[in-house]
């Protein structure tokens, strides 16, 4: 059939299909034949370009992880006051999860299948943010008695959780707002809870 020679085009079509299918069914649940069918690229050619299914998966994970990391670039550069920056970050991270549902699933599969790439990235990222919070503690913008890692778990954990269970919640609690509105509601509430922990070192102590 297609004998056009377009290596890059082929690779990107394969990666796109592979990402979709790996996200949906995981590594073991996705066969090269599935990817071949979805992308229209023959089995042989997929292996020709990516050497092995394993390496293809790796490449998918890395692509996805890179996308995730991009969200956090430039965070440190801006000079917003901490509470504002926290709000901003939350909005960005939340927005990413909301848009790129693929990342969530790929990252979970990778975790379960013990592929390190994403887990390492994520932990490193969290650790980086933790260091930043520690510096805020130094300057008195963030309460010293709260462990930054614990605090960050309290930020990111609920977001993971929300996207994992929100449709179930909507069903069970018979929430009638449509999906987008639910997300907005969650984000607003959640932001409110978290920003209460930040304070102006010179101003009065904020209470919950």
Q: Which residues bind a copy of itself (CB under 8 A)?
A: 25-29, 105, 108-109, 111-113, 119-120, 122-124, 126-127, 130, 143, 145-147, 149-151, 153-154, 156-162, 164-165, 168-169, 171-173, 185-186, 189-190, 192-193, 196-197, 205-208
Q: What is the DSSP letter of 76?
A: T
Whole-angstrom distance, CA of residue 196 vs CA of residue 82: 12
Whole-angstrom distance, CA of residue 75 vs CA of residue 129: 10
Residue 160 partner contact from a copy of itself, DNA, none using kind-dependent CB cut-offs of 5 to 8 Å:
a copy of itself
Whole-angstrom distance, CA of residue 76 vs CA of residue 85: 9
Residue 1 partner contact from DNA, a copy of itself, none using kind-dependent CB cut-offs of 5 to 8 Å:
DNA
User: What secondary structure does DSSP assign to 5-66, as a single string?
Assistant: --HHHHHHHHHHHHHHHHHHHTTTT--HHHHHHHHT--HHHHHHHHSSHHHHHHHHHHHHHH
Shortest approach of a copy of itself to residue 7 CB, angstroms? 15
Per-residue 3-state assignment (H helix, E strand, C coil) for 82-132: HHHHHHHHHHHHHHHHHHCHHHHHHHHHHHHCCCHHHHHHHHHHHHHHHHH
Shortest approach of a copy of itself to residue 106 CB, angstroms? 10
Is 10 a binding residue for DNA by CB under 7 A? The answer is yes
Stretch that binds DNA, among 5-13, 58-66, 89-97, 196-204 (CB under 7 A): 5-13
Whole-angstrom distance, CA of residue 142 vs CA of residue 205: 11
Binding mask 36-75 for DNA (x = CB under 7 A): -----xxxxx-xxx-xxxx---------------------
Whole-angstrom distance, CA of residue 120 vs CA of residue 208: 34
**Of 88, 85, 82, nearest in space to 206 by CA:** 82
Residue 13 partner contact from a copy of itself, DNA, none using kind-dependent CB cut-offs of 5 to 8 Å:
none
Residue 41 partner contact from a copy of itself, DNA, none using kind-dependent CB cut-offs of 5 to 8 Å:
DNA
- Angle, vertex CA 162, rays to CA 82 and CA 102, nearest 5: 95
Is 12 a binding residue for DNA by CB under 7 A? The answer is no
Residue 112 partner contact from a copy of itself, DNA, none using kind-dependent CB cut-offs of 5 to 8 Å:
a copy of itself
Shortest approach of DNA to residue 42 CB, angstroms? 4
Instruction: Please give the residue ranges that form the binding site for DNA (CB under 7 A).
Output: 1-7, 9-10, 30-34, 41-45, 47-49, 51-54
């Amino acid at each position: 059939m297609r004998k056009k020679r377009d290596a890059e085009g082929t690779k990107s079509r394969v990666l796109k299909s592979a990402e979709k299918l790996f996200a949906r069914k995981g590594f073991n649940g996705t066969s090269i034949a599935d990817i071949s069918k979805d992308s229209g690229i023959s089995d042989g050619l997929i292996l020709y370009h990516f050497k092995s299914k394993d390496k293809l998966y790796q490449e998918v994970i890395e692509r996805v992880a890179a996308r995730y990391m991009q969200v956090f670039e430039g965070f440190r550069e801006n000079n917003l006051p901490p509470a504002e920056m926290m709000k901003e970050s939350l909005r960005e991270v939340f927005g990413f999860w909301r848009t790129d549902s693929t990342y969530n699933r790929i990252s979970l599969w990778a975790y379960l299948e013990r592929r390190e790439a994403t887990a390492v990235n994520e932990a490193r990222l969290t650790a980086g943010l933790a260091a930043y919070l520690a510096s805020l503690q130094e300057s008195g913008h963030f309460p010293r008695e709260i462990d930054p890692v614990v605090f960050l778990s309290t930020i990111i954990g609920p977001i993971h959780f929300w996207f994992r269970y929100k449709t179930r919640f909507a069903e069970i609690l018979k929430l009638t707002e449509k999906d987008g509105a639910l997300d907005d509601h969650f984000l607003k509430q959640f932001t409110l809870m978290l920003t209460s922990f930040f304070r102006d070192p010179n101003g009065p102590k904020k209470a919950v």
